[in-house]
Amino acid sequence: MANIPFRERLEQGVLLLDGAMGTMLHTHENLPIDTCFDLLNLTDPGAVARIHQLYLQAGAEVLEANTFSANVLKLAACDLQDRCAEINRAGVELARRVIDASFQDNIYVAGSVGPLGRRLAPFGRVTPEEALDAFYVQTRALIEAGADLLLFETFTDLHEIALGIQAARSIRDDIPIAAQMTFNRDDRTALGDTPAQVTRALADLHVDIIGVNCSGGPAQLLRILQIMHRAAPEARLSVVPNAGWPEMAGGRVMYPATPDYFGDYALAFKEAGACLIGGCCGTTPEHIRAMRAALDDPVRHAPTLLAVRDLAEQRLDEAPEQPTEMAHKLAAGEFVVTVEMPPPRSFTAQKVIASAELLREAGVDVINVSDSPMARMRMSPWAVCHLIQHHTGVETVLHFPTRGRNLLRVQGDLLAAHALDVRNVFVVMGDPTVIGDYPDAFDTHDIAPSALIQLIKRNLNAGIDQAGGSIGVPTSFLAGCALNINTRELDRETRLLRKKIEAGADFALTQPVFDPAVVERFREAYAAQHGPLTLPILVGILPLYGARHAAFLHNEVPGIEIPQAIRTRIAEAGDESPHEGVRIAQELLLALQPMAQGVYLMPAFGRYDLVAGVVDCLGRSHAFGEPHANGARS
């Protein structure tokens, strides 16, 4: 049937969008919740058409094509990426056929575009170019199939939704666009943006409608809608809430908000300035029918509902923690000696504590506690760090791999470490589980090391979490990064280090070095590209234990090269090779002092006594002194 142009219709009053598609297919059509719903456009179009018909009969004026997850990245999970355009075209054509069969005027098809399902860099691995390509394939199919508008919905990343809009406009720059973000219970997106920030950012993209969808129920979205209206009074706004927070009942996902409740809120949304209103997850044709009846009733008024919550940030009344002893030493330009120590394989830590005491007496400043080295099961390093600091007074550095942790666990683990007075962290990717004794263990990650350093320094140390919520008192983490100083790809490694420095890295630990010229070469390469290297570098030194040990490291460990002269010295030392390894390490340590701000000693085979012997060349031993309180809170 005939339609006036969508933008012209917007000028005439509120438009009612339809409700949920996925939950309706699950409950009404009895399809499993893990069904690839987008593929139904091709394999069971009747099921999708029946849902469209129900919403149209309930009074919806905009039908969303069943294409929310139909992008190449999400479809790849079902091996359907090559059918992306076909699925999207079918979704639009199916909705259009239902509208035509109804003989109703001014009913519109919205091409639904959801997030890609994988995070963009730096919080994920999808590049902007890959995102643009994915959005281009989907939006081109939707536009060419005749969608009246594109509805970008349920996005949490402003950069991602901007790339989607950019892709669509590269195909047809005058296509009407509604852009909707979703928010957590704290009224911020998953990446920490407030409703006002979202509104201003989307207004700068000059979309037709700015909105909020999914999130919580109508009460939360009314609050967010009011904030959006205050941030951009001239903007057209949309609001599409879930039917409350979902619950599991009898194996089904259930939503508590009733249709009558939605009817009340439809009027409240209209009074708050929304021009496009609908329902998201859990809403049904009954919810849309109740909203239609409320909007069409000339005498019905919205009841008094929830007021806007003030989003002013919580004041922090407590002072932040003071910098660590390691931070003081690095800031003062002192030479820092740190030793790596793996956690035990059991719950007993007496040997670890005894070894830490030995290193304290030798004059070691800090002990690095690794996390599941070589992907082998060991005690949590936070506990080891706490025990070492409590029993010996030696400050620790917690190795913190991003592998195997999601963003919730990352932040919770960091706050737990801080609560235990462990405030020096070494951020690293971590060893892949496939090389360890649990090769099938979870091995993915939400955040790359450089992004985690940024989260620590710019969020937690500023008193907020990654989502922008207050944590009460700022943390005082000192964050270190890894540096592959032995690499032959100097340009690449200098760029990576620069990225980590810009993220806020406070120091770097390197792989073992057996030639001081390697450090000088890296410094020169960095200076040529980025200027003088001012980040404190703690250079790795690994005392060799014997000829076989040296041969293994040289031939089988990537990034380690041992000069022939050193391998010859170790081989000729025979039974004395462990002590010769100590002498070589002492020579390296003294040679590195002018060009590094510390050393990172890695004992071979748990021989902490040999590492203590390396440190002896610095004349630091205080074997008869009392433990100092570097890491203990008084």
Q: Domain 335-543+598-618 - what CATH class?
A: alpha beta
Closest CA to 45 of 112, 96, 106: 96
Here the tokens at position 276 are 């496009």
Output the 3-class SS for 499-516. HHHHHCCCEEEEEECCCH
pTM of model > 0.75: no
Q: And the tokens for 107?
A: 């009913």
**pLDDT at residue 333 above 50?**
yes
Element (H, E) at 179: strand 177-181
Give how far Cα 199 sits from Cα of 115, 212, 225, 462, 477, Å.
18, 10, 10, 24, 33
What are the φ/ψ torsions at residue 519 (nearest 5 degrees)? -65, -45
CB 254 within 8 A of CB 248: yes
What does the pLDDT read at residue 302? 66
Query: Residue 212 has what DSSP assignment?
Result: E
Write out the two tokens for 391. Answer: 């029993």
pLDDT at site 119: 86
624 pLDDT band, cuts 50/70/90, is very low
Identity of the residue numbered 384: V
- Give the span between the Cα atoms of 215 and 195, in whole angstroms: 12
Residue for token digits 């793996």?
342
Mean pLDDT, to the nearest integer, of 197-222?
A: 93
pLDDT at site 377: 62
Tell me, what's the pLDDT at 73? Answer: 96
Of 35-39, 239-243, 250-254, the range with the lowest mean pLDDT is: 250-254
Buried b (16+ CB within 10 A) or exposed e, 27-36: bebebeeebb
Over residues 379-388, mean pLDDT: 87
Domain span(s) for CATH 3.20.20.220 in the chain: 335-543+598-618
| Residue listed under structure tokens 């910098």 | 323
C-alpha separations of 78 from 34, 36, 37, 39, 83 in Å:
11, 8, 11, 9, 11
The average pLDDT across 409-416 equals 88
Helix (H, G, I), strand (E, B) or coil at 543: coil
pLDDT for position 1? 56
The per-residue pLDDT for 560 is: 84
Structure tokens at 522: 């890296």
What does pLDDT average to over the chain? 86
What is the three-class DSSP state of 154?
Answer: strand
Classify residue 446 by its DSSP letter: S
Per the listing, tokens 């009340």 go with 264
Supply the pLDDT for residue 535: 95
What percent of the chain lies above the pLDDT cut of 70?
Answer: 88
* Averaged pLDDT for residues 486-505: 92
Token duo for residue 326? 């390691």
What is the average per-residue pLDDT within 546-566? 86
Summarize pLDDT for 68-94 with one digit per residue, the tens: 999 999 999 999 999 999 999 999 999
Tell me how far CA of residue 42 lies from CA of 76, 535, 547, in angstroms.
Answer: 16, 57, 66
pLDDT band per the 50, 70, 90 thresholds, residue 446: low
Give the pLDDT band (50/70/90) at residue 370.
Answer: confident
Q: Name which of 216-225, 246-255, 509-518 the model is least confident about.
A: 246-255
Q: How confident is the model at residue 448, as a pLDDT?
A: 80
pLDDT for 600 equals 95
Strands (E), 365-412: 366-369, 395-401
Find the range with the poorest average confidence among 324-333, 506-515, 556-565, 618-627. Answer: 618-627
Separation CA 175–CA 154 (nearest Å): 20
Nearest to 253 by CA among 26, 83, 495, 67: 26
Residue 630, pLDDT > 50, answer: no
| Cα(116)–Cα(580) distance, integer angstroms | 57
Whether the predicted pLDDT of 317 surpasses 80: no
What's the CA gap between 321 and 379, in Å, rounded?
Answer: 27
pLDDT for res 374: 52
Higher confidence at residue 589 or residue 404? Answer: 589
Mean pLDDT of 620-632: 41
- pLDDT band, residue 468 (cuts 50/70/90): confident
pLDDT tens-digit map of 525-548: 999 999 999 999 999 999 999 888
Confidence band for 371, pLDDT divided at 50, 70 and 90? confident
Q: What pLDDT score does 383 carry?
A: 86
Question: Do 53 and 99 form a contact (C-beta atoms < 8 A)?
Answer: no
Q: Are strands 252-254 and 507-512 parallel, antiparallel or unpaired?
A: unpaired
Determine whether domain 6-296 maps to CATH 3.20.20.330: yes
Query: Is residue 626 over pLDDT 50?
Result: no
pLDDT tens digits, one per residue of 57-71: 999 999 999 999 999
**Could you tell me where in the chain the CATH 3.20.20.330 domains are found?**
6-296
| Residue 51: CA count within 13 A, CB half-sphere | 30
Could you tell me if 69 and 40 are in contact, meaning their C-beta atoms sit under 8 angstroms apart?
Answer: no
Nearest CA to 67 out of 56, 78, 75 is that of 75
Q: Tell whether the model's pLDDT for residue 319 goes beyond 80.
A: no
* pLDDT tens track for 109-145: 999 999 999 888 777 788 999 999 999 999 999 999 9
